[in-house]
């Protein structure tokens, strides 16, 4: 097992990475939440249950298993109402615990429900997807989508512990691996040294730990998403717009990491247009994304709709705000002109 601390003072917690860690829940609940726990609710999804990852769980206390829907459409205020109403019917007290067993959708939903029920109760993430293990389960950002955009309603609410059970990754379909690798490609540009795909040469537990370490350092330095933490959204401004533009139409849907891969190359092209980086640096982005076996092809979308959606991004402050590469590395850039963004989208379209 590998342990990565998230240093947040009194709210410090551990990210544990290894095979079979879901079976350590009784220990983790006792250590991280304490003796006041009398009941628990496990929030999960049908594919996780079908794969057998919810079988034989021992939480050390009586628990219920609640199944939420798959996909981004289930990340809604309606789902939060359903979850918290269920918590009340099950008699969950503020001293009890919610366990999120699943991928990023589950950790976002269960975390936000825990943050708002009784004005805040303990939760633990047991991440079962690569995306959740390298990113979504760590850092305490919880929330849901609105029709107008992704993750527009939520809270910062830190888990008491995160378990990255790498055994559960064996059941992931190919596109879910791609989803996680999109976030891993992002970390290639946020870690030390020249960006490359050397992360993939490590064994799986070490890959997850490397990404978790980078995120933990950033979260510890900037818990509530000032400019430092915003660098974790590298590639996400266009990615979230692409996801939002596909709401309600499964034929247009992209997995989150697939959209991030496209967003990384878009961000590089935009940075070049703004004079922040040169051609070689753009090509490096393409090479890194390709090395993670991801496509950077922009799907057909209305560019003006994408720009409108990017303006609603949670980083924005009544302007177009991006995380962009430059001489000092990846940083937040505010007040980018709409014409520059449209021109970059047109450049991507012409290359496909």
Candidate list 63, 150, 210, 215, residue with the active-site label: 215
Residues 16 and 159 in one domain: yes
Q: Counting Cβ atoms within 10 Å, is residue 55 exposed (0-12), middle (13-18) or buried (19+)? A: exposed
Residues 166 and 19 in one domain: yes
**For the residues of 125-190, what is the DSSP string, one character each?**
EEE-SHHIIIIITSS-EEEEEETTEEEEEEEE---SEEEEEGGGGGG--HHHHHHHHHHHHHHHTT
Candidate list 186, 236, 272, 315, residue with the active-site label: 236
Candidate list 160, 186, 229, 276, residue with the active-site label: 229
Candidate list 89, 119, 224, 318, residue with the active-site label: 119
Query: What pLDDT is stored for residue 305 in this prediction?
Result: 95
The answer to whether residues 117 and 75 touch, using CB atoms and an 8 Å cutoff, is no
| Residue ending a domain, choose from 157, 172, 187 | 172
236 is an active site residue? yes
SS3 for 288? helix
Candidate list 75, 256, 276, 315, residue with the active-site label: 256
Bridging pattern class, strands 13-18 and 2-6: antiparallel
State the DSSP H helix or E strand holding residue 324, giving kind and residue range, or none if neither: strand 322-324
CB neighbours of 222 closer than 8 A, spacing ≥ 6? 228, 229
Query: What pLDDT is stored for residue 248 in this prediction?
Result: 62
Cα 96–Cα 13–Cα 133 angle in degrees, nearest 5 = 95
Taking 50 as the pLDDT cut, the residues of the chain under it are: none
Query: What pLDDT is stored for residue 254 in this prediction?
Result: 86
75 is an active site residue? no
| Residue ending a domain, choose from 137, 172, 207 | 172
Candidate list 150, 160, 240, 255, residue with the active-site label: 240
User: Which residues, in sequence order, are bridge partners of residue 4?
Assistant: 15
On whether residue 203 sits in a domain, the answer given is: no
Find, among 310, 293, 312, the residue nearest to 345 by Cα: 310
Residues 133 and 236 in one domain: no
On whether residue 180 sits in a domain, the answer given is: no
Candidate list 22, 75, 141, 181, residue with the active-site label: 141
Residues 147 and 232 in one domain: no
Find, among 68, 75, 60, the residue nearest to 28 by Cα: 60
Q: Counting Cβ atoms within 10 Å, is residue 98 exposed (0-12), middle (13-18) or buried (19+)? A: buried
The answer to whether residues 139 and 6 touch, using CB atoms and an 8 Å cutoff, is yes
On whether residue 206 sits in a domain, the answer given is: no
| Residue ending a domain, choose from 146, 172, 198 | 172
What is the per-residue pLDDT across 20-68, written as a single tens digit (0 to 9) for each? Answer: 999 999 999 999 999 999 999 999 999 999 999 999 999 999 999 999 9
Residues 125 and 248 in one domain: no
Q: How far apart are CA 149 and CA 271, in angstroms?
A: 24
On whether residue 308 sits in a domain, the answer given is: yes
Tokens of 155: 């809270």
Could you tell me the residue range of the domain that residue 292 belongs to? 223-351
Question: How many domains is the chain built from?
Answer: 2
Residues 15 and 113 in one domain: yes
Residues 149 and 269 in one domain: no
Query: What pLDDT is stored for residue 149 in this prediction?
Result: 84
Q: How far apart are CA 104 and CA 139, in angstroms?
A: 12
145 is an active site residue? no
On whether residue 195 sits in a domain, the answer given is: no
Query: What pLDDT is stored for residue 315 in this prediction?
Result: 64
Residues 248 and 141 in one domain: no
* Sole residue written with tokens 């330095």: 221
**CATH assignment at residue 63:** 3.40.50.1970
119 is an active site residue? yes
On whether residue 212 sits in a domain, the answer given is: no
Q: What is the CA 141 to chain-centroid distance, rounded?
A: 8
233 is an active site residue? yes
Candidate list 14, 64, 217, 225, residue with the active-site label: 225
Candidate list 72, 183, 223, 243, residue with the active-site label: 183
- What's the predicted TM-score (pTM) here? 0.92
On whether residue 48 sits in a domain, the answer given is: yes
On whether residue 68 sits in a domain, the answer given is: yes
Candidate list 72, 186, 233, 285, residue with the active-site label: 233
272 is an active site residue? no
Residues 9 and 139 in one domain: yes
Residues 167 and 292 in one domain: no
**CATH assignment at residue 286:** 1.20.1090.10
Residues 259 and 324 in one domain: yes
225 is an active site residue? yes
141 is an active site residue? yes
217 is an active site residue? no
What is the per-residue pLDDT across 161-170, written as a single tens digit (0 to 9) for each? Answer: 999 999 999 9
Residues 236 and 138 in one domain: no
User: Which residues, in sequence order, are bridge partners of residue 101?
Assistant: 126
């Amino acid at each position: 097992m590998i342990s990565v601390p998230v240093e947040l003072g009194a709210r410090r917690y551990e990210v544990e990475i290894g095979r079979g860690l879901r079976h350590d829940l009784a220990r983790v609940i006792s250590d991280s939440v304490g003796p006041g726990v009398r009941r628990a609710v496990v929030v999960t999804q049908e594919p996780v249950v079908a794969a057998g990852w919810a079988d034989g769980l021992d939480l050390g206390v009586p628990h219920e298993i609640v199944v939420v829907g798959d996909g981004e459409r289930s990340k809604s205020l309606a789902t939060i109402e359903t979850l918290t109403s269920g918590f009340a019917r099950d008699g969950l007290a503020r001293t009890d615990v919610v366990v999120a067993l699943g991928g990023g959708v589950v950790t976002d939903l269960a975390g936000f429900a825990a943050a708002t029920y009784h004005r805040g109760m303990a939760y633990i993430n047991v991440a079962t997807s690569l995306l959740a293990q390298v990113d979504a389960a760590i850092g305490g950002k919880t929330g849901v989508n609105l029709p107008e955009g992704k993750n527009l309603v939520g809270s910062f609410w830190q888990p008491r512990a995160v378990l990255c059970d790498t055994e559960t990754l064996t059941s992931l379909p190919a596109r879910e691996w791609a989803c996680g690798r999109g976030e891993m490609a992002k970390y290639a540009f946020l870690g030390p040294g020249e960006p490359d795909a050397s992360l993939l040469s490590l064994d799986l537990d070490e890959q997850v730990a490397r990404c978790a370490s980078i995120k933990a350092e950033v979260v510890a330095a900037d818990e509530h998403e000032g400019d430092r933490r915003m660098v974790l959204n590298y590639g996400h401004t266009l990615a979230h717009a692409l996801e939002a533009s596909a709401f309600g139409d499964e034929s247009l849907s992209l997995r989150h990491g697939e959209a991030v891969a496209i967003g990384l190359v878009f961000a590089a092209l935009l940075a070049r247009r703004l004079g922040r980086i040169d051609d070689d640096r753009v090509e490096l982005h393409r090479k890194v994304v390709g090395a993670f076996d991801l496509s950077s092809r922009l799907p057909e979308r209305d560019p003006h709709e994408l720009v409108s959606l990017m303006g609603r991004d949670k980083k924005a402050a009544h302007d177009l705000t991006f995380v962009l590469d430059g001489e000092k590395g990846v940083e937040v850039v505010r007040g980018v002109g709409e014409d520059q963004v449209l021109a970059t989208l047109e450049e991507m379209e012409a290359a496909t």
